[in-house]
A and B are shown apart, each in its own frame.
Chain A
Amino acid sequence: MIDIDPSLVNWSRAMFAFTAMYHWIFVPLTLGLSFLCAFFETIYLKTGDEQWKTITRFWMTLFGINFAIGVATGIILEFEFGTNWSNYSWMVGDIFGAPLAIEGIFAFFMEASFFAVMFFGWNKVSKGFHCFSTWMVAVGSNLSAVWILVANGWMQNPVGMAFNPEQARFEMQNFAEVVFNPVAISKMTHTSSSGFVMASAFVLTVSCWYLIKRRHVEMAKRSIIVASVFGLVASMFVGFTGDEAAYEVAQKQPMKLAAMEGLYKGERSAGLVAMGIINDAKSPGDVQDAFLYKVKVPGVLSLLANREFGSFVPGIDDLVWGNEKENVMGVNTMMEKGRHALTDLAAFKEAKKAGQEDAAAEALERFNVNQKFMGYGYLDTPEEAVPPVAIVFNSFHLMAILGSLFPVIFGAFLFFTLKGNVTEQRWLLPVGLFTALLGLLAQQAGWVTAEVGRQPWAIQGLMPVKIATTNLSTASVQITFAMFAAVFTMLLIAEIFIMLKQISIGPEGH
């Protein structure tokens, strides 16, 4: 048994989760709204129509508000790495250093240099250069996200590294493997494009509010056209990248996929649960039904997970206790190998301390055999490798259902706006009014799926969260949690207040 206070792990985990979720309120809007501003301004540049300039400046102001409130909220995550996750922070420092440094130097400075031109440069630089700067801010914002997601992708699928037992660090061996990690790529494309959907939904919501209030009708209609096209394309792309992301999960994190689908008993031609009510009382290995109610599409899960109908998709029980017939190694077996790895690592450490180089070399050789299972050696029971199934299933399905609604919503708005009668669609405008809220829910549900679904791992298969945490007192983590929650809640209130005020003023502010 490991003598780490579970309440300490859970408070540290809760603080990190809430910080990331707060941070993620601001980020997707920045990613997408920056491109929408670039689209609006490009149309202004091409047409010379002053109305497009007014539209650009209005949305740019809302972008600026969101950016200003959201900027640096991610820094708290960095603080938490050093304070609450010091073991983890030390061990991954060599891997994360490069992508995060690139993010800081390249993307942030690129973003920051063009930011001033974007906001201060109207009528002071040429129209072409101003538009170029707006595009650079959009590209820079999205590049920042790329490097963060490369780091996150590595945690889900640690590649391009080797463990240095003397330094207790994962050291980068192949930068390209880390950057082009398939999990990082699918995560990056899925996350960025979902940010585009979120921002398009935001433009739709604000524009619908103007249409309902019969204010700035022309601006609202023009904004809706651009946002609908962008949102429609982005939401279809999100579906495509989501499929790719799910495929990567199936290959690299099969336990997460099993939890996403509430699949306990693996099967060939496995069906996809389109919707369902999961049985929260169900535990791995028991005989209860996994669902109280479900609608299943036969065979589709096998196709999505392995690109092959009839293929085997392992369930939670197969992954926990193994399935020899289907060649699935169980967590119980991996735990044995992991314990050998940790014993050999400890022997290596002791031999090194005693100056016994031969014994150290032998221990290291043995450690290397089971190294990739080392994380499993920390688990107390095989069931500990199962994430909270109900949370993962519900958040995944909420995200997927909302994700499939967005193309319909954007398509309807585009159709009626082009037809010229969107203002007459009294049923559609209230739908538009809530689209941003639905987008926000989908965003948060997506992160919950990705991050809760990979529990108990901080680094997939190598380091569980309970080992990553710093051995602090629970009370000190509770105090910092309260501090950060207060600061971030104030920031959120400030954002909502300033944003609503600016929306209420409308484009006349310019």
Chain B
Amino acid sequence: MRTTAIKVFSFYRDGFAGMTVGKSLWKIIIIKLVVMFAVLKLFFFPNFLKHNFETDEQRANHVLEQITRQVADNN
């Protein structure tokens, strides 16, 4: 078990160490994920229903209100 774990660890360590173009790609992936999750998601793409309502019942009521609003307006 321990030997297998060491082998797997070495496999990944050597793989990452031996990368050429892969190093630049990993940098791009990390920067991209940071920008997406720590900037875009956090500040620009909040989940509207999770952010504004506490329970599923409130969310359901809000959506139901939205989709029947036309009828309410006409009345």
Binding partners A and B:
yes
Which residues does A use to contact B, with CB under 8 Å? Answer: 1-3, 61, 64-65, 68-69, 71-72, 75-76, 79-80, 82-83, 86-87, 89-91, 116, 119-121, 124, 165-169, 339, 342-343, 345-346, 349, 377-378, 463, 467, 470-472, 479-480, 483-484, 487, 491, 494, 498, 502, 509
Supposing A116-B12, A471-B66 touch, asked if A76 and B40 sit within 8 A by C-beta, the answer is yes
Q: How far is the CB of B48 from chain A (nearest CB, A)?
A: 4
Q: How far is the CB of B51 from chain A (nearest CB, A)?
A: 9
The interface residues of chain A lying within 8 Å CB-to-CB of B44 are 83, 479-480, 483
The interface residues of chain B lying within 8 Å CB-to-CB of A3 are 69, 73
The interface residues of chain B lying within 8 Å CB-to-CB of A470 are 48
B38 on the interface (CB 8 Å rule)? no
B71 on the interface (CB 8 Å rule)? yes
Supposing A64-B25, A119-B15, A167-B60 touch, asked if A87 and B67 sit within 8 A by C-beta, the answer is yes
Say yes or no: A120 contacts B18, CB within 8 Å. Answer: yes
User: For residue A499, which residue of chain B has the nearest CB?
Assistant: B21
The interface residues of chain B lying within 8 Å CB-to-CB of A75 are 36
B21's partner among A472, A491, A502 (CB-CB below 8 A) is A502
The interface residues of chain B lying within 8 Å CB-to-CB of A166 are 60
The interface residues of chain A lying within 8 Å CB-to-CB of B18 are 120
The interface residues of chain B lying within 8 Å CB-to-CB of A116 are 11-12, 15
B3 on the interface (CB 8 Å rule)? no
Say yes or no: B49 contacts A89, CB within 8 Å. Answer: yes
Supposing A72-B33, A116-B15, A120-B12 touch, asked if A509 and B45 sit within 8 A by C-beta, the answer is no
A487's partner among B40, B60, B64, B73 (CB-CB below 8 A) is B40
A83's partner among B24, B33, B46 (CB-CB below 8 A) is B46
Say yes or no: B47 contacts A83, CB within 8 Å. Answer: yes
Say yes or no: A480 contacts B45, CB within 8 Å. Answer: yes
Q: How far is the CB of A26 from chain B (nearest CB, A)?
A: 12
B46's partner among A82, A91, A345, A483 (CB-CB below 8 A) is A82
The interface residues of chain A lying within 8 Å CB-to-CB of B15 are 116, 119-121
Bound-state CA distance A397–B14 (Å) is 50
Beyond known contacts A68-B25, A83-B44, A120-B18: 13 more, CB 8 A cutoff: A68-B26, A68-B28, A72-B29, A72-B32, A79-B41, A87-B67, A166-B60, A168-B63, A349-B68, A483-B40, A494-B28, A498-B25, A502-B21
Say yes or no: B60 contacts A65, CB within 8 Å. Answer: no
The interface residues of chain B lying within 8 Å CB-to-CB of A377 are 70
Supposing A90-B49, A120-B18 touch, asked if A467 and B36 sit within 8 A by C-beta, the answer is no
Q: How far is the CB of A494 from chain B (nearest CB, A)?
A: 6
Interface of B is mostly: helix
Say yes or no: B66 contacts A124, CB within 8 Å. Answer: no
Say yes or no: A342 contacts B71, CB within 8 Å. Answer: yes
Say yes or no: B71 contacts A343, CB within 8 Å. Answer: yes
A120's partner among B14, B59, B64, B71 (CB-CB below 8 A) is B14
Q: How far is the CB of A495 from chain B (nearest CB, A)?
A: 9
Q: How far is the CB of B61 from chain A (nearest CB, A)?
A: 8
Say yes or no: A61 contacts B21, CB within 8 Å. Answer: yes
Say yes or no: B60 contacts A90, CB within 8 Å. Answer: yes
Interface of A is mostly: helix
A sample of 5 inter-chain contacts (CB < 8 A) reads A71-B29, A72-B29, A79-B36, A342-B68, A498-B24
User: For residue A477, which residue of chain B has the nearest CB?
Assistant: B44
Bound-state CA distance A445–B46 (Å) is 31
The interface residues of chain A lying within 8 Å CB-to-CB of B29 are 68, 71-72
Bound-state CA distance A465–B9 (Å) is 49
Bound-state CA distance A343–B63 (Å) is 16
The interface residues of chain B lying within 8 Å CB-to-CB of A91 are 63, 67
B72 on the interface (CB 8 Å rule)? yes
Say yes or no: A491 contacts B49, CB within 8 Å. Answer: no
Say yes or no: A484 contacts B32, CB within 8 Å. Answer: no
B4 on the interface (CB 8 Å rule)? no
Bound-state CA distance A82–B59 (Å) is 12
The interface residues of chain A lying within 8 Å CB-to-CB of B72 are 346
Q: How far is the CB of B31 from chain A (nearest CB, A)?
A: 9
Say yes or no: A168 contacts B32, CB within 8 Å. Answer: no
The interface residues of chain A lying within 8 Å CB-to-CB of B16 are 120
Bound-state CA distance A372–B49 (Å) is 26
The interface residues of chain B lying within 8 Å CB-to-CB of A346 are 68, 71-72
Bound-state CA distance A342–B73 (Å) is 12
Say yes or no: A86 contacts B60, CB within 8 Å. Answer: no
Say yes or no: B45 contacts A80, CB within 8 Å. Answer: yes
The interface residues of chain B lying within 8 Å CB-to-CB of A487 are 32, 35-36, 40
Bound-state CA distance A82–B50 (Å) is 9
Q: How far is the CB of A124 from chain B (nearest CB, A)?
A: 6
The interface residues of chain B lying within 8 Å CB-to-CB of A68 are 22, 25-26, 28-29
B55 on the interface (CB 8 Å rule)? no
Say yes or no: B64 contacts A168, CB within 8 Å. Answer: yes
Q: How far is the CB of B11 from chain A (nearest CB, A)?
A: 6
Q: How far is the CB of A370 from chain B (nearest CB, A)?
A: 13
A119's partner among B22, B47, B67 (CB-CB below 8 A) is B22
Bound-state CA distance A86–B62 (Å) is 10
Say yes or no: B25 contacts A65, CB within 8 Å. Answer: yes
Say yes or no: A76 contacts B36, CB within 8 Å. Answer: yes
Bound-state CA distance A83–B41 (Å) is 9
The interface residues of chain A lying within 8 Å CB-to-CB of B46 are 82-83
Say yes or no: A82 contacts B11, CB within 8 Å. Answer: no
